[in-house]
Amino acid sequence: MNIVRNVMLALLLLCGGAGVAQAEDGYELWLRYRPVEATARASYLAAARTLVGGTSSPTLDAAQGELRRGLTGLLGRPQATGTAVADGALLYGTPASSTIIAGLKLDLTPAGEEGYVIRSMTVDGHSVTVIAANNDKGVLYGAFAFLRLIQTRQDVTALAIASAPQHKIRILNHWDNLDRNSERGYAGLSLWNWSQLPQIDPRMIDYARANASLGLNATVLNNVNADLRIYRPEYLAKVAALADAFRPYGIKLYLSILSSAPIQVGGLKTADPLDPQVIAWWKSEADRIYKAIPDFGGFLVKANSEGMPGPQDYGRTQAEGAHVMAVAVKPHGGIVMWRAFVYSPENRDDRAKKAHAEFVPLDGKFDDNVLVQIKNGPLDFQPREPFSPLFGALPNTNAMMEFQITKEYLGFATHLAYLGTMWEETLKSDTQARGPGSSVAKIVNGQLFNHTLTGMAGVANTGTAENWSGSIFNQANWYAFGRLAWDPELSARDIAEEWTRQTFSNNATTVRPIVAMMMGSRQTVVDYMMPLGLNMIFGNGTHYGPGPWDEISSRPDWRAPYYHKADANGLGFNRQASGSNAVAQYQPGVAAQLSDRDNLDYLLWFNHVGWSEQLSTGRSLWDELVYRYTDGVTKVKQMRRNWTALRGRVDGERYNLTAQYLAIQEAEAQWWRDACLAYFQSFSKLPYPKGYAAPAHPLDYYKGLDARKNLDAKLATGLN
Ligand code: GCW
């Protein structure tokens, strides 16, 4: 497929093809090396006439391969390779792999272990460009970064770039099952074709390229609700084949495992982490896995959470549960990522308090090769959550971030929601753990508490869909996650622009409206789904449509009314001292900010507010709800208009798919608005403010619609 496309592109280039949008299915993601406009080509050609490497290795070959592929597409002629320094040479390598690079005596300290430097230099009187690093992976990342400069039409004549990743582990979590269903996946089947493996589908290489282009260096293949058959020898051989395929791209492979593996895999009678037999079993199991995959990364564990087994089944702590695995993988250089996503159905206290209450007493008790993996918010990937109070509360524990790239709670694949803004909001949040300026980003990158083992995980949105992510704009979330895992200080806007330029065009009249659409999209989803801090008001356990009434949730004790607390007086969850006092889990200064009734983003998350209470906007709570829900729908209409105006400037295939999805999003935003307002009005009993339409149907209509939509959705895509 790609070869045909490249020939087409070459033909296109010969006829100066700028502006003719060829049909695209999105398979190439942001690695679309489309021809640079003739006007700009000369300066790029001058910087990359010949590729001059050194000794080869699988990773350096991958770097050279990508440079060739990229520069051929972008500059329209096959890249020559050479050995000599000449004008326009693009030198790449490490001091160990290239004598020329060694001879330059560059200061590679800023590149660190995995980073790179890119410099425009004069060597022996020749103007050259250098991509150098301390190890091969850094060169690969540098190669992608150099191509990105050209893809986004940056000036490459005076480069002085040094970039190093801010997190050690930059990892995708695939919630993929062995039956190729992905839990909360909306992009077709799981990428891992277990019946084809250990044969490697070329798509696996493109998966590795996409991740390497973002600097992602790790992946967990299987669901945290783990099916332990994956530890059978026949499966491990398939896993090892994937590890071999990903290794040249600097991607280490990890697996989810359960605390009960000593029983289910080892056949023991107990999985008590302090039992000597169990301790021995974990050691031998680790040895067995590392025999099959020498550079296996380690385990990801969900324990005593949503029914998963765990150490508490034996009266042991989460730290003791992690310890037995940590000790087993440590001699092999492995780590354990232990999830803090815990809440217990039987405990009726505030679910948002649970993780902090359980893990803070264990601070300092986890091994130094354990990372406690924490979801961005205290509940569960809602359209807006305050940062988790665990960030800043574990100074003596390695803590890593868990974001959700797949949009379980933001419209699955159909609704357009760019999550870069959400993640930026979380990372920039100030925990005040060590006074003002103690941002979540500084905790996760290890700076605040001097941690060296650091990480950022993203629950993947990938599948066998041609466009990988279920929609074109979902690709931007994979992209943004990768960029922020490399550098949490990057801005969501810059990332959105970068992605748009690589994915669509560098034409300002295309870039501007697309970036504007993306930057407003997540807030728009918040407004038509759960404004003002509302959360978890989905219906029927699908996490897709509105269900503030929610009679038949998949977890009956966690129905929507539990979260929004609507009653005749008002709405919202009182998390103040007079309520669950969850706010006290934050530093006092932060608690005050979050509790402030003028902080409308979290008003109903932390407070129960009267329907007629006047807000800082001058509207009552009820009027504000009507205004927000309606405004959310209006903003989706505007997104559609923006997109329609781009017809002809984006290829038909991707244009049409997005246009279809935006039409669904508009209809469903209206559904959300009408269903939620009809329901909340059954409590407020207040009239709709002047100029705002009451929902077209009575409440029961939306209750019925919810079940019908859910059924259709289930039938259509076989969703979980
Ligand atoms: O978000 C919830 C999902 C579950 C998921 C769980 C978790 C993998 O609804 O599908 O299970 O969180 O994070 O473990």
- SS3 labels along 452-493: CCCEEEEECCCCCCCCCCCCHHHHHHHHHHHHHHHCCCCCHH
Nearest atom of ligand 1 to the alpha carbon of 380: 1
Sign of the CA dihedral with 144 first, then 148, 149, and 151 last? positive
User: What is the pairing mode between strands 116-123 and 126-132?
Assistant: antiparallel
Give me the helix-helix angle, 621-644 and 652-684, nearest 10°: 170
**Cα→Cα distances 214→298, 381, 599, 658, Å:** 22, 23, 35, 24
Nearest atom of ligand 1 to the alpha carbon of 409: 1
Spatial separation of the C-alpha atoms in residues 91 and 496, rounded to whole Å:
30
Percent of the chain with pLDDT over 90: 88
Radius of gyration of the chain (CA): 26
Q: Does 179 participate in catalysis according to the annotation?
A: no
Report the Cα 321 to chain-centroid distance in Å. Answer: 27
Q: Does 424 participate in catalysis according to the annotation?
A: no
**Distance from residue 226's CA to the centre of ligand 1 (Å):** 12
Q: Range with the lowest mean pLDDT among 127-131, 566-570, 704-708? A: 704-708
Pocket-forming residues, ligand 1, beta carbon under 6 Å: 175, 183-184, 224-225, 302, 306, 341, 380-381, 408
Report the Cα 290 to chain-centroid distance in Å. Answer: 28
pLDDT the model gives residue 236: 98
Report the Cα 640 to chain-centroid distance in Å. Answer: 25
For the segment 117-167, what is each residue's pLDDT rounded down to a tens digit? 999 999 999 999 999 999 999 999 999 999 999 999 999 999 999 999 999
**Distance from residue 310's CA to the centre of ligand 1 (Å):** 16
Spatial separation of the C-alpha atoms in residues 607 and 612, rounded to whole Å:
14
Catalytic residue among 66, 114, 367, 408: 408
Q: Which two tokens stand for residue 486?
A: 């490399």
Percent of the chain with pLDDT over 70: 93
Spatial separation of the C-alpha atoms in residues 320 and 717, rounded to whole Å:
41
pLDDT the model gives residue 541: 72
pLDDT the model gives residue 341: 98
Q: Each residue of 419-442: b (16+ CB within 10 Å) or e? A: bbbbbbbbbebbbbbeeeebbbbb
CA-proximal residue: ligand 1, atom 7 (nearest): 341
CA-proximal residue: ligand 1, atom 3 (nearest): 184
**Distance from residue 147's CA to the centre of ligand 1 (Å):** 36
Q: Does 136 participate in catalysis according to the annotation?
A: no
158: helix, strand or coil: coil
Q: How far apart, in Å, do the first and last CA atoms of the chain sit?
A: 32
Global pTM value:
0.95
Q: Which two tokens stand for residue 58?
A: 């699988």
Q: Is 631 exposed, middle or buried (0-12, 13-18, 19+ CB in 10 A)?
A: middle
Helix ranges (H only) for 97-228 are 99-104, 136-151, 202-213
Nearest atom of ligand 1 to the alpha carbon of 184: 10
CA-proximal residue: ligand 1, atom 2 (nearest): 380
The answer to whether the beta carbons of residues 335 and 292 sit under 8 Å apart is no
Spatial separation of the C-alpha atoms in residues 636 and 662, rounded to whole Å:
8
Q: Is 460 exposed, middle or buried (0-12, 13-18, 19+ CB in 10 A)?
A: buried
pLDDT the model gives residue 711: 56
The answer to whether the beta carbons of residues 546 and 531 sit under 8 Å apart is no
CA angle 5, 11, 14 (to 5 degrees): 140
pLDDT the model gives residue 528: 98
Mutate to test the pocket of ligand 1, among 176, 225, 404, 563 (most ligand atoms within 8 A of CB): 225
Partners of residue 121 on adjacent β-strands:
128
Confidence band, pLDDT 50/70/90 cuts, at residue 21: low
Catalytic residue among 87, 124, 155, 306: 306
Residue 553 predicted with pLDDT over 70? no
φ, ψ at 335 (rounded to 5°): -130, 170
Q: How confident is the model over 418-427, as a mean pLDDT?
A: 98
For the segment 371-388, what is each residue's pLDDT rounded down to a tens digit? 999 999 999 999 999 999
Helix (H) or strand (E) holding 560: helix 560-564
For the segment 593-642, what is each residue's pLDDT rounded down to a tens digit? 999 999 999 999 999 999 999 999 999 999 999 999 999 999 999 999 99
DSSP 3-state helix, strand, coil percentages of the chain (rounded to 5)?
45, 10, 45
User: What is the pairing mode between strands 169-173 and 126-132?
Assistant: unpaired
Nearest atom of ligand 1 to the alpha carbon of 305: 14
Q: Which two tokens stand for residue 139?
A: 């060169």
